[in-house]
Chains A and B, each alone.
Chain A
Amino acid sequence: DAMVIQNPRYQVTQFGKPVTLSCSQTLNHNVMYWYQQKSSQAPKLLFHYYDKDFNNEADTPDNFQSRRPNTSFCFLDIRSPGLGDAAMYLCATSGGQGVEKLFFGSGTQLSVL
């Protein structure tokens, strides 16, 4: 049973064309995260929501936005994708307290042409 679901699995977009990646969860977790992962690099946190509170990392480009309309769903919007934004985007959730175990989706591989 998938608990953190990301759609689509693969996304191809054109340079400068807005794109939205989606994530849903069945765990009822308070916290949802978006990570960017490039080849041979550490997953890089872009932002996270604790309930409705949005927390942006200081070095996340303005080009990246997020929405969380309810507990279950979270979206990553890339307003004007550049070639450097091609990466795997990982959504994760956690209960938000104590050990903070993260549950990851399978990711969306974004290609920018």
Chain B
Amino acid sequence: GEDVEQSLFLSVREGDSSVINCTYTDSSSTYLYWYKQEPGAGLQLLTYIFSNMDMKQDQRLTVLLNKKDKHLSLRIADTQTGDSAIYFCAEKGGYSTLTFGKGTMLLVSP
């Protein structure tokens, strides 16, 4: 079945850039997503990328997709303490529903 892997933890200082990485196995993935989960809350869609794109930028967020290596990354520029949360990578292949990774906890220190 499909598998999505992420590193579990990332710590950065406020103002630095954060890069969260994700790998996936489903070669038929059509869309890839980044969701954010704050403590005690549901998941919130941050951004997504279509599989025929290699980059998407949305304000402070940059998504890079290397389809050959099945590698997805999320870069957050000028990281703020309010960005501290768990970030989930997810992929959708064909007619299937989304498969999520285990999440990367981002801790931003002042």
Contacts and interface: CB of A to CB of B under 8 A. Distances in A.
A90 B41 CA distance: 9
A106 B43 contact: no
Range class of the A interface residue count: 20 to 34
Contact of B97 (A40, A48, A101, A109): A48
Given A43-B88, A90-B43, A99 B48 contact: yes
B42 A105 contact: yes
Contacts of A107: 40-42
Given A42-B103, A100-B31, A106 B45 contact: no
Interface string A74-113: 0000000000000000101000000111111111010000
Interface of B: 4, 8, 31, 33, 35, 40-45, 48, 50, 88, 92, 97-103
Interface of A: 4, 6, 33, 40-43, 45, 48, 90, 92, 99-107, 109
